């Protein structure tokens, strides 16, 4: 049963007929009740569901990063990550679908990323990141911190960190857990107060040294 806390013109909380009301991040909303169907799904519907599931399973491996890297007031951070990756983040034809790693965004924002960003295998099962410092250009500052992300398809796991090295330095990420396996890498920057973040940049795939 629904409740209307402030009278007939107040927000709805719950189910009223075919309408569901609620509150999210302080905003009131209403939406239609989902309609169940006994029809067999079309190939197009099956393809969309498969894309959704594939992308969702990938993004879940970095969900705590997404809470920081896809901040928005319009939807949940996770839904924002799904929205920004659904169009180009999947490649292939159903049912042969794959993550399109070079097109994946692991962060989305207005902070200026670095230029000439490169990743390479470092010593001791590390990924080493280098870039040209562009502090002072647009919104880039010396105090911005690195965002480093490494995903292993075979393990279906992600290693990441942020808020460590500054824009004026170089940085590495230890990935010994993926020794001998192929990984995909991304890089970006986040402001010192964690309020601004750059669009991530895909920095290639590597086989981690054993």
Does residue 144 form part of some domain? yes
Q: What residues have CB less than 8 Å from 123, skipping those under 6 apart?
A: none
174: domain CATH number is: 2.60.40.10
Does residue 154 form part of some domain? yes
Does residue 16 form part of some domain? no
Cβ atoms 140, 130 nearer than 8 A = no
- pLDDT tens column, 93-143: 999 999 999 999 999 999 999 999 999 999 889 999 999 999 999 999 999
Per-residue model confidence (pLDDT) at position 66 = 98
- The predicted model gives 79-97 an average pLDDT of 97
Range of the domain at 127: 43-207
Per-residue model confidence (pLDDT) at position 164 = 87
Confidence of residue 73 (pLDDT cuts 50, 70, 90): confident
Does residue 62 form part of some domain? yes
- pLDDT tens column, 156-199: 999 999 988 999 999 999 999 999 999 999 999 999 999 999 99
Per-residue model confidence (pLDDT) at position 53 = 98
Per-residue model confidence (pLDDT) at position 23 = 61
Does residue 36 form part of some domain? no
Domain total of the chain: 1
Q: Which helix (H) or strand (E) holds 207?
A: strand 201-207
Does residue 183 form part of some domain? yes
Checking if the pLDDT of 1 tops 50, the result is no
H helix runs in 89-151, sequence order: none
Q: Which helix (H) or strand (E) holds 187?
A: strand 182-190
Does residue 130 form part of some domain? yes
- pLDDT tens column, 2-58: 454 555 455 656 566 565 666 656 666 556 656 566 788 899 999 999 999 999 999
| Radius of gyration, CA atoms only, the chain | 21
DSSP string for 8-36: TTS-EEEEETTEEEEEETTEEEEEEPPPP
Does residue 82 form part of some domain? yes
């Amino acid at each position: 049963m629904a409740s209307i806390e402030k009278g007939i013109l107040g927000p709805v909380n719950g189910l009223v007929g075919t309408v569901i009301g609620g509150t999210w991040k302080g905003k009131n909303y209403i939406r239609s009740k989902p309609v169940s169907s006994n029809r067999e799904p079309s190939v197009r519907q099956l393809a969309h569901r498969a894309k959704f599931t594939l992308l969702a399973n990938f993004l879940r491996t970095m969900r705590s990063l997404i809470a920081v890297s896809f901040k928005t007031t319009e939807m949940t951070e996770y839904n924002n990550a799904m929205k920004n990756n659904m169009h180009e983040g999947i490649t292939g034809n159903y049912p042969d679908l794959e993550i399109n790693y070079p097109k994946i965004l692991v962060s989305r924002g207005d902070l200026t990323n670095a230029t000439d960003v490169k990743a390479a295998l470092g010593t001791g099962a590390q990924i080493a990141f280098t870039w040209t410092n562009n502090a002072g250009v647009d919104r880039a500052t010396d105090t911005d911190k690195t965002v480093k992300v490494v995903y292993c398809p075979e393990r279906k796991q992600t290693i990441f960190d942020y808020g460590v090295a500054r824009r004026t330095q170089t940085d590495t990420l230890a990935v010994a857990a993926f020794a001998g396996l192929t990984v995909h890498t991304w890089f970006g920057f986040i402001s010192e107060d964690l309020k601004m973040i750059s669009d991530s940049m895909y920095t290639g795939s590597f086989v981690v040294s054993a």
